[in-house]
Amino acid sequence: MDEIKIFSPASVANISCGFDVLGFCLGPVGDEMIIRKSDSSGVKIIKIEGQELPLDVKKNVAGVAAEALLNELKTERGFEIEIYKNIKAGSGIGSSAASAAGAVFGINELLNKPFTAHELINFAMEGEGLASGSVHADNVAPVLLGGITLVRTTDPIDVVQLPTPKELTAVIMHPKIELKTVHAREIIKKNVTMEKAIQQWGNLGAFVSALYDEDYDLMSRSLKDEIVEPMRSLLIPEFESLKKASKDVGALGFGISGSGPSVYALTKGVDTAEKVYEAINEIISSIGIDFEIYISKINQQGIKILPD
Ligand code: HSE
């Protein structure tokens, strides 16, 4: 195989109680990429459509991630990358993660899989570091592994794949304003009180347990963020009214997707997701900003190979 075409999906990081550690993979939205072997060594990004992003491999998350993989192999092999972006940069649903994960997934396939999906997280994470100013794997892990993931540590990488309760459904709303992760990270206070830390790890542990037990009530009680949301939500139009309206019609939880400005709700079943969709749609339509909204099951497969 000399060339591969892939679909690299969007993802939701943090899931409220798991800042920088929890994430899940989305279904309908994602980037397409073509990766092919080339005669010259190293990585070249030869085309990007859908977004203004640098072709320079050192300044592009896909390039940085791909070079990290090739450096580890100490190979002279070369690859060309074409990126067709559907996920807007700065939208909060893992745009940079999709590019970084897509590049390393594609190259790994063309090299007959020298690395496992878990190992690929290391390289994709280096691309993420370029985009956000610090290394975190809560978007690239669910993209590469599928489903819901927990990053226990990034050094060394240690990622746990969590079960997805059958009826768990997500609603995502992207208000079309750009919020760069690097800025959304700068506004977070660097110190956390013991009281807030206790609340947060209580919620995180309970949420993980609820996933195993398919305990939707416990999920609902645990989907809270006492630490980051109070600061970042101020940057998102109508955040509190969107949250209240979603919870009023039965959302298990509502919060910021990654570093925002997208927001997510989780529901038990598609019927409730449709009610949440309507409630969010009504509020956001009334304030005159462009947005998109969709319902997604949790994508169990993650990144995938497309037919030619
Ligand atoms: N955990 C990251 C954050 C995800 O919230 O900053 C965004 O890339």
Quote the crossing angle between the two packed helices 270-285 and 239-248, to the nearest 10°: 150
Residue with CA closest to ligand 1 atom 4 = 258
pLDDT at 43: 96
CA atoms within 13 A on the CB side of 70: 22
- Which pLDDT tens digit goes with each residue over 54-73? 999 999 999 999 999 999 99
Comparing CA positions, the residue from 297, 190, 173 lying closest to residue 238 is: 173
Question: Does domain 3-163+302-306 fall into CATH 3.40.630.10?
Answer: no
Contacts of 55 (CB under 8 A, 6+ apart): 45, 46, 48
- Architecture per CATH, 168-297: 2-Layer Sandwich (3.30)
Q: Which of 67, 128, 226, 229 is catalytic?
A: 128
What span, in angstroms and rounded, lies between the C-alpha atoms of 201 and 159?
A: 17
Which of 61, 91, 139, when mutated, tests ligand 1's pocket best, judged by the most ligand atoms within 8 Å of its CB? 139
Note the helical H segments in the chain.
Answer: 61-73, 95-110, 117-132, 140-145, 181-186, 194-213, 216-222, 229-232, 239-248, 270-285
What span, in angstroms and rounded, lies between the C-alpha atoms of 175 and 52?
A: 19
pLDDT at 133: 77
pLDDT at 179: 81
Report residues whose beta carbon is within 6 angstroms of any ligand 1 atom: 13-14, 19-20, 132, 136, 138-139, 181, 184-185, 258-259
Mean pLDDT of 288-308: 95
Mean pLDDT estimate for the chain: 96
- Pick the atom of ligand 1 nearest to 138's CA: 1
pLDDT at 135: 85
Which of 20, 159, 189, when mutated, tests ligand 1's pocket best, judged by the most ligand atoms within 8 Å of its CB? 20
**pLDDT tier at 180, thresholds 50, 70, 90:** confident
Catalytic annotation present for 128: yes
pLDDT at 121: 97
Catalytic annotation present for 154: no
- Pick the atom of ligand 1 nearest to 13's CA: 4
- Pick the atom of ligand 1 nearest to 184's CA: 6
- Contact, 22 vs 204, CB < 8 A? yes
pLDDT at 132: 78
- Pick the atom of ligand 1 nearest to 131's CA: 8
The domain locations on the chain are: 3-163+302-306, 168-297
pTM recorded for the entire structure: 0.96
297 three-class SS: strand
Torsion of CA 62, 65, 68, 72, to 10 degrees: -110
**Matching residue, tokens 């409220």:** 16
* Statement: residue 93 has pLDDT above 80: yes
Q: Which of 164, 169, 181, 272 is catalytic?
A: 181
Say how many Å lie between the CA of residue 137 and the centre of ligand 1.
Answer: 9
Which of 259, 262, 263, when mutated, tests ligand 1's pocket best, judged by the most ligand atoms within 8 Å of its CB? 259
Say how many Å lie between the CA of residue 1 and the centre of ligand 1.
Answer: 35
Mean pLDDT of 183-198: 92
Cα 12 versus chain centre, distance: 4
- Which pLDDT tens digit goes with each residue over 234-283? 999 999 999 999 999 999 999 999 999 999 999 999 999 999 999 999 99
